[in-house]
Structure 1
């Protein structure tokens, strides 16, 4: 295994499913499955022991399910990115996964190419949400403060940006985040390096006191900054 390979733990109660995912992921250069788990408790143990870059979690597993496992993993020091894989396209599962700290949500009937892309996306620190899913998150989050900002809405977008202390470039990055762009896509849009974008995103999250990119997108829509 090369030192720069992305390492992955697979958690699913069906051995055949895990075997299929392993074959797909390890067919891609630079991806290595370093551990497997048949339930959420085993998944947490594997993450603690193996320190992977990404953990792929099924939602429905016996004992500790994927959502509880995601919560426990998110509470670890320097946790891996969590990609939730499920056969159910239900809003409740989606929002519970995001609230639990998942970085992405993917249906098991996705193409092999999409699975590989999803693992690389969450490993790079990007949230994996398709535009239609993003709209559902925003709609739900604006009605449910738990996912979005707890701040009182500010009178205007410019006032919100000023109150948050965002620079002009950070505001521009936030607007592109709200459009669903990845770090690499933002870098191309702004003609800067990926590392520069990552720094801007980190600054935005810190200044807004938000957990992740998804909350930043919600904040942008709530405050009228996304337009």
Structure 2
């Protein structure tokens, strides 16, 4: 454990699980400085001058409320990092958590090693979502294949992809990212160079305000209309 630890708040309504996490993290850089059963309890009396800090919170009991709390936290403490723990993975909930500002999203059955490594990445500024997200995105794409553009648009609170200024080529490449395609595979599909693909990917990330390909894929799942098999 490093000499400088990260101030960590742990919010978990289940007493047994809360104590278990406390013991797991006790010998790491993320030994909790505050334990609580609720979000409000955890933040009560928290020193605003301590920054950045890490919040590990339950997202299983009331996911919508947890996401609202993440939004509140980010508005109040912009540099705060948040790991949300859930009982199972659901694509819509993952997207909601990402949009709310969660920095990591893990199922409670992950190993201690995965938990700690995820926290390391989060404190380095990374956004970490489970690898199962790609499979969920593929399933989502298959289900959405027969939907109309209007039906898809009705589900998008922030408008369609067109409001982000994506070109037709960027849109089809974004769909490829949703499928988990590599730059090399995308280049082969459209008979372009990998360098050109990289340029398009960078433009996509910039336009939709995503930090990486995973974030872009998650954004696409809730914003792109049904695939009309367009080519560019």
Instruction: Classify the TM-score, shorter chain.
Output: 0.5 to 0.7
The secondary structure found in structure 1 opposite 2:168 is coil
C-alpha separation in 2, matches of 1:107 and 1:136: 15
Q: State the match for 2:167 in structure 1.
A: 154
Q: 1:139 to 1:72 in 2, by over 3 A?
A: farther
Gaps of 5+ in 2: 145-151, 183-201, 225-232
Q: 1:220 to 1:92 in 2, by over 3 A?
A: closer
The secondary structure found in structure 1 opposite 2:21 is helix
**Range with greater deviation from structure 2 (148-157 or 108-117):** 148-157
Instruction: Tell me if structure 2 keeps the 8 A contact 1:44–1:73.
Output: no
Q: How many Å apart are 1:73 and its aligned residue?
A: 0.9
Q: State the match for 2:120 in structure 1.
A: 120
Gaps of 5+ in 1: 161-174, 181-202, 223-227
The secondary structure found in structure 2 opposite 1:113 is helix
C-alpha separation in 2, matches of 1:46 and 1:60: 25
Q: State the match for 1:91 in structure 2.
A: 91
The secondary structure found in structure 1 opposite 2:164 is coil
Q: 1:46 to 1:55 in 2, by over 3 A?
A: farther
Alignment of 1:44-193 (within 5 A): 44-45=43-44, 49=48, 51=51, 53-60=53-60, 65-136=65-136, 145=156, 150-157=163-170
C-alpha separation in 2, matches of 1:116 and 1:209: 30
Q: What TM-score does the superposition give when structure 2 sets the normalisation length?
A: 0.61
C-alpha separation in 1, matches of 2:131 and 2:219: 16
Q: How many Å apart are 1:155 and its aligned residue?
A: 2.6
Q: State the match for 1:37 in structure 2.
A: 36
Q: How many Å apart are 1:152 and its aligned residue?
A: 4.2
Q: How many Å apart are 1:205 and its aligned residue?
A: 9.2
Q: 1:216 to 1:105 in 2, by over 3 A?
A: same
**Range with greater deviation from structure 2 (145-154 or 48-57):** 145-154
Q: What TM-score does the superposition give when structure 1 sets the normalisation length?
A: 0.62
Q: How many Å apart are 1:128 and its aligned residue?
A: 1.2
Cα RMSD of the aligned pairs, angstroms, is 3.9
Q: How many Å apart are 1:21 and its aligned residue?
A: 0.7
C-alpha separation in 2, matches of 1:74 and 1:134: 26
Instruction: Tell me if structure 1 keeps the 8 A contact 2:86–2:108.
Output: yes
The secondary structure found in structure 2 opposite 1:6 is coil
- 1:114-148 deviation per Cα after TM superposition (whole angstroms, max 9, x unaligned): 11112112111111123321453587699554589
C-alpha separation in 2, matches of 1:137 and 1:44: 34
